[in-house]
Amino acid sequence: MTANIQSVGIVGAGQMGSGIAHVCALAGYDVILTDVSGDRLKASLATINGNMAKQVAKKLITEDERKAGLSRIKSAETYDALTGCDLVIESAVEKEDTKRKLFTELCASLKPEAIVATNTSSISITRLAASTDRPERFIGIHFMNPVPLMELVEVIRGIATDDATFEASKAFVNKLGKKIAVSEDFPAFIVNRILLPMINEAIYTLYEGVGNVEAIDTAMRLGAHHPMGPLELADFIGLDTCLSVMQVLHEGLADSKYRPCPLLVKYVEAGWLGRKTQRGFYDYRGEKPVPTR
């Protein structure tokens, strides 16, 4: 029996949580977006509204679809609001201890048959599942950033994930109009296992003085036809997130090729995390981004 998902809860109203709420609401799901911060919830709803308006302007959706989508999203500051949800997706900070604590608290508020998913980009699904009361109904559903634009979703089973949960999760992703890549539960899955070491290597190339920020990004944009240079992309993802994924790879696979570049560590220690802090490999405080090296 495949569970029929109609209502979706989302924990965490940051960039990813907002994007997931956006696509779920447009696909016809009732969405409850939760966050401990009321201000973040307000900002998130404003972002979703603005992004849907852009889609209307580009004729990707109609004004009626935008209004209907927005009307399906409710916000709340506690997990109690999620009791009726069929699927709850966690999209909190990429730190394992934070996520485990969150799942222990969250599951107490959910109905027994609810599926719990994590949007983690790198952490073991099996380990996270073990911190819940329902490992067989736990799964990884990893969206790419920015969610409304990116076509791919990685679906990752933990060792205990049952077939019904796997099938229901795939049906859910299909209904969002996204393509699925099924990944085994290895550190960083498929996309980040390949992408983040490339970004880390670009940072080593900068660190070792092979090229400056501009040369490296231009080389990969024009020489490999990447839409964004690796350092520009690192700033977009967030250098703290890049570092945490590299640490997961390094610890989880114990291979020196995944060692985070010391320059990446230094930028994170400085609080230069990329676009979200206005400074990373580029300085975003002026008219246009200026390389910091």
pLDDT at res. 208: 98
Domain parsing of the chain, residue ranges:
7-183, 191-291
Q: How many CB atoms lie within 10 A of CB 95?
A: 14
Here the tokens at position 102 are: 């969150």
What CATH number has the domain spanning 7-183?
Answer: 3.40.50.720
**Contact between 30 and 72 (Cβ < 8 Å):** yes
pLDDT value, residue 94? 85
Helix axes 262-269, 191-207, angle to 10 degrees: 90
pLDDT for 211 equals 98
- Look up the CATH architecture of domain 191-291: Orthogonal Bundle (1.10)
Distance CA 58, CA 50 (A): 13
Position 63 scores a pLDDT of: 97
Per-residue pLDDT of the chain (293 residues; tens, 9 = 90+): 456 899 999 999 999 999 999 999 999 999 999 999 999 999 999 999 999 999 999 999 999 999 999 999 999 999 999 999 999 999 998 889 999 999 999 999 999 999 999 999 999 999 999 999 999 999 999 999 899 999 999 999 999 999 999 999 999 999 999 999 999 999 999 999 999 999 999 999 999 999 999 999 999 999 999 999 999 999 999 999 999 999 999 999 999 999 999 999 999 999 999 999 999 999 999 999 999 99
- pLDDT computed for residue 92 by the predictor: 94
* Whole-number Å distance between alpha carbons of 90 and 13: 10
Coil, helix or strand for 163?
Answer: helix
Tell me the per-residue pLDDT of 84-100, one tens digit each, with 9 for 90 and over.
Answer: 999 999 999 888 999 99
Spatial distance between the Cα atoms of 105 and 100, rounded to a whole number of angstroms: 9
Pairing of strands 282-283, 290-291: antiparallel
The b/e string for 22-60 (b: 16+ C-beta within 10 A; e otherwise) is bbbbbbebbbbbbbeeeebbeebbebbeebbeebeeeee
Write the burial class of residue 249 (CB in 10 Å: 0-12 exposed, 13-18 middle, 19+ buried): buried
| Amino acid letter for position 181 | A
Residue 213 DSSP one-character state = H
Active site members:
121, 142, 154, 192
Q: Which residues of 213-243 are buried (b: 16+ CB within 10 A; e: fewer)?
A: beebbebbeeeeeeeebbbbbbbebbbbbbb
Task: Give the whole-angstrom CA distance, residue 74 versus residue 32.
Answer: 5
27 three-state secondary structure: coil
The model's pTM: 0.92
| Contact in structure between 233 and 199 (CB atoms under 8 Å) | yes
